[in-house]
Amino acid sequence: MVNNTDILNTLATIVEEVTGIDPAEVTTEKSFTDDLDVDSLSMVEITVVLEDRFEVKVPDDQVAELRTVGDAVNYIAHYR
């Protein structure tokens, strides 16, 4: 069973792989665009890796709804 902390840690690693952002900066309250400066192309890359690692599908219309790291963690926890 994967818990939210595991999801957050994996997501932080993915964000680092795609953008080079220090995983310590990736916390649940951070906004991908406003706080972490993740652009739309990088967000697509992060989503693709998330789908692969967690075996979930994030529909294109849902990607825009994942505004914060916490949104992404909750989405994965709910649909995994």
Which sequence positions are flagged as catalytic?
A: 39
Confidence grade of residue 2 (pLDDT, cut at 50, 70, 90):
confident
Nearest to 46 by CA among 71, 24, 2, 13: 13
Per the CB < 8 A criterion, the answer to whether 69 and 26 are in contact is yes
When pLDDT is averaged across residues 63-68 and rounded to a whole number, the result is: 94
Per the CB < 8 A criterion, the answer to whether 69 and 30 are in contact is yes
pLDDT digits (tens, 9 = 90+) for 11-38: 999 999 999 999 999 999 999 999 999 9
